């Protein structure tokens, strides 16, 4: 019985259960998890800085689309109307230490205001969306009042006062002040103004204002170590942590000592946008896959979105499948085939034609290389004789010289069946499939395969295709471990 390698054994279960998809995958992160899980809430690390302080994670159009999806039943004629229809003229704001110039505009949609403020202050638009829901339920409100817009983010509206500071009233002011202060709170220059929740401090954080419960009883204030700036900013904005009853009933009421601000922020964000944190391992994996598959490093937005998809439960093999079935990877494979087989650059029309074939499912990224080997153009470039053609093809796709008996055999098949059939017979042979697998091991794992792994993955390549094997190897624990070493 043939012995399977450790890498193969670790993925056999995923293959059997269908955890590694065999079909084409869209090059986009998975949908976020449907519900938050209380055990994942960390009071000292509510959301990562990478996610919180990054304005590139939603576009203007995506913000509007999100509003429309959450407010599908509200009236277009109501006044002031729900967020999807709400408009306001906004003033220009000069650049500050925390926000770039805000241009202002006439009769701007709420989504446009929120997006532009997010960009000016480099805050994730998702953070501001969740803040609107956490404070005033504005995202899902079907007929909010003017007063609700006046205190949209609760800025300058302390729990101890029935009204908001008049200087901060209005939707734009509320959004702008919240975004600006999320940055100013964590500025080291402001440590004396906002000393309580500095990153790295262990501080007692109350469950409820003044440590007094709804029934007048005493409430605790357990110590929390603040692990990052975003968590520091959230506690400075809303200085309470959820107690066990509030976490035990994430979508409802807790107990007499429960408060809900930071719990609700975390729950809404998780439900709507996925994980609030990205593990170092997931960051390493995303960086490695971009480099190994697309020959480049990801932008911050790409790294965060894929990292969040992984943190929300998307399998690494599925993420890898998205990369090896992406248009960007397909174009790299097309261009490489043109250059390596035909010795010339791809023309734009040819590239598009091959790409469309892959998009339709008629071709795989590796088919271009194989089909080019069947062309008269390659035959001529390989020496323009049958012997030279067979010898060149062996060297190119099996990575070794052909012995004379092999050349003689395949020349006979050329005369019998033609060039295309011979190429296909060699390409889909066990030895050639293993040669391609060996190259994947070198490219992705940095080593040669063991005999068991080479045999098993060669069989899988012939059965399921090279793209499937790429996704599986990239999704392996061994690849993750190597990614963590390469991109700590």
pLDDT in tens, 233-277: 999 999 999 999 999 999 999 999 999 999 999 999 999 999 999
pLDDT band at 481 (very low <50, low <70, confident <90, very high): very high
Nearest to 467 by CA among 26, 22, 27, 28: 22
The stretch 429-445 carries a mean pLDDT of 96
Q: Over the stretch 309-357, which tens digit does the pLDDT of each residue have?
A: 998 889 999 999 999 999 999 999 999 999 999 999 999 999 999 999 9
Contact indicator for 156, 177 with CB cutoff of 8 Å:
yes
Residue 235 and residue 478: Cα distance in Å, rounded? 39
For the chain, what's the residue count?
Answer: 488
Nearest residue to 395 (alpha-carbon basis) of 458, 345, 341, 449: 341
In this predicted structure, what is the pLDDT of residue 11? 35
Q: How many CA atoms lie within 13 A of 329 on its CB side?
A: 25
Give the per-residue pLDDT at 35: 81
pLDDT for 161 equals 65
Q: What is the model's pLDDT at position 18?
A: 33
Residue of higher predicted confidence among 3 and 182: 182
Burial of residue 4, with CB atoms counted within 10 A of its CB: 0-12 exposed, 13-18 middle, 19 or more buried: middle
Instruction: Locate 138 and state its tokens.
Output: 């504005």
CB 426 within 8 A of CB 398: yes
* Packing angle of the helix pair 6-17, 477-486 (nearest 10 deg): 120
Q: What percent of the chain has pLDDT over 70?
A: 92
| Residue 59 or 165, more confident | 59
Q: Please report how the helices 280-294 and 327-337 are oriented relative to each other, as an axis angle in degrees rounded to 10.
A: 30
- Rounded to 5 degrees, what are φ and ψ at 204? -75, 125
Say if residues 112 and 60 touch (Cβ distance below 8 Å): yes
pLDDT at 184: 97
Distance CA 372, CA 364 (A): 13
CA distance 277 to 43: 13
User: pLDDT (tens digit, 9 = 90+) per residue, 280-315?
Assistant: 999 999 999 999 999 999 998 899 999 999 988 899
The terminus-to-terminus CA distance of the chain in angstroms comes to: 39
What are the backbone angles phi and psi of residue 231, rounded to the nearest 5°?
Answer: -65, -40
Question: What is the structure's pLDDT at 400?
Answer: 94
Structure tokens at 303: 């790294």
Tracing tokens 């079935």 back to the chain, one arrives at: 325
Q: Find tokens 């000592």 and name the residue.
A: 257
Residue 9 has pLDDT above 70, yes or no: no
**Res 162: pLDDT:** 66
- Reduced 3-state DSSP string for the chain: CCCCCHHHHHHHHHHHHCCCCCCCCCCCCCCCCCCCCHHHCCCCCCCCHHHHCCHHHCCHHHHHHHHHHHCCCCCCCCCCCCCCCCEEEECCECCCCCCCCECCEEEEEHHHHHHHHHHHHCCCHHHHHHHHHHHHCCCCCCCCCHHHHHCCCCCCCCCCCCCCCHHHCCHHHHHHHHHHHHHHCCCHHHCCCCCCCCCCCEEECCCCHHHECCCCCECCCCEEECCCHHHHHHHHHCCCCCCHHHHHCCCCCCCCCCCCHHHHHHHHHHHHHCCCCCCHHHHHHHHHHHHHHHCCCCCHHHHHHHHHHHHCCCCHHHHHHHHHCCHHHHHHHHHHHHHHHHCCCCCHHHHHHHHHHHHHCCCCCCHHHHHHCCCHHHHHHCCCCHHHHHHHHHHHHHCCCCCHHHHHHHHHHHHHHCHHHHHHHHHCCHHHHHHHHHHHHHHHHCCCCCHHHHHHHHHHHHHHCHHHHHHHHHCCHHHHHHHHHHCC
Q: What integer pLDDT is reported at residue 87 of this predicted model?
A: 96
Contact 58, 115 (CB under 8 A): yes
CA angle, 293 as apex, 287 and 299 as ends, to 5°?
40
pLDDT over 80 at 30, yes or no: no
Cβ atoms < 10 Å from Cβ of 177: 18
Is the separation of the CB atoms in 246 and 254 below 8 Å? yes
Q: Which two tokens stand for residue 215?
A: 């029934």
CA separation for the pair 98, 77 (Å, rounded): 37
pLDDT tens column, 108-123: 999 999 999 999 999 9
């Amino acid at each position: 019985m043939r012995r399977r390698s450790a890498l193969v054994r670790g993925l056999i279960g995923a293959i059997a259960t269908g955890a590694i998809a065999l079909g084409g995958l869209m090059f986009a992160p998975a949908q976020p998890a449907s519900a938050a899980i209380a055990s994942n809430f960390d009071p000292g690390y509510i959301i990562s800085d990478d996610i919180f302080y990054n304005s590139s994670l939603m576009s203007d159009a995506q913000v509007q689309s999100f509003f429309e999806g959450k407010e599908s039943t509200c009236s277009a004629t109501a006044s002031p109307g729900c967020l999807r229809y709400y408009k306001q003229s906004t003033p220009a704001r000069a650049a500050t230490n925390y926000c770039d110039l805000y241009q202002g505009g006439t009769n701007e949609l709420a989504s446009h205001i929120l997006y532009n403020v997010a960009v000016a202050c480099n805050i994730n638009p998702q953070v501001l969306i969740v803040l609107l829901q956490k404070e005033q339920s504005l995202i899902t409100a079907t007929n909010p009042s003017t007063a609700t817009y006046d205190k949209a983010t609760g800025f300058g509206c302390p729990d101890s006062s029935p009204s908001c500071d008049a200087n901060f009233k209005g939707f734009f002011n509320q959004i702008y002040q919240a975004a600006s202060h999320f940055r100013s709170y964590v500025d080291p220059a402001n440590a004396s103004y906002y000393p309580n929740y500095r990153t790295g401090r262990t501080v007692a954080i109350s469950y409820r204002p003044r440590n007094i419960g709804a029934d007048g009883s005493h409430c605790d204030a357990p110590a929390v170590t603040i692990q990052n700036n975003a968590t520091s900013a959230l506690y400075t904005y809303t200085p309470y942590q959820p107690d066990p009853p509030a976490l035990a009933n994430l979508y409802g009421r807790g107990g007499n000592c429960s408060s809900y601000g930071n719990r609700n922020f975390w729950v809404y964000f998780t439900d709507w946008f996925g994980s609030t944190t990205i593990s170092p391992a997931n960051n390493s994996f995303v960086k490695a896959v971009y480099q190994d598959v697309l020959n480049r490093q990801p932008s911050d937005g790409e790294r965060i979105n894929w990292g969040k998809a992984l943190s929300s439960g998307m399998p690494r093999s599925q993420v890898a499948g998205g990369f090896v079935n992406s248009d960007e990877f397909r174009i790299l494979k097309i261009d490489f085939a043109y250059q390596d087989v035909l010795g010339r650059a791809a023309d734009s029309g040819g590239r598009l034609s091959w790409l469309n074939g892959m998009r339709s499912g008629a071709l795989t990224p590796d088919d271009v290389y194989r089909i080019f080997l069947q062309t008269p153009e390659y035959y001529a470039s390989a020496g323009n004789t049958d012997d030279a053609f067979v010898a060149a093809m062996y060297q190119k796709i099996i990575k070794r010289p052909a012995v004379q008996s092999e050349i003689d055999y395949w020349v006979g098949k050329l005369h019998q069946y033609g060039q295309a059939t011979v190429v296909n017979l060699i390409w889909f042979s066990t030895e050639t499939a293993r040669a391609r697998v060996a190259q994947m091991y070198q490219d992705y794992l940095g080593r040669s395969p063991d005999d068991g792994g080479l045999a098993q993955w060669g069989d899988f390549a012939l059965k399921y295709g090279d793209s499937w094997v790429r996704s599986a190897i990239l999704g392996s624990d061994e690849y993750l471990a190597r990614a963590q070493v390469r991109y700590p």
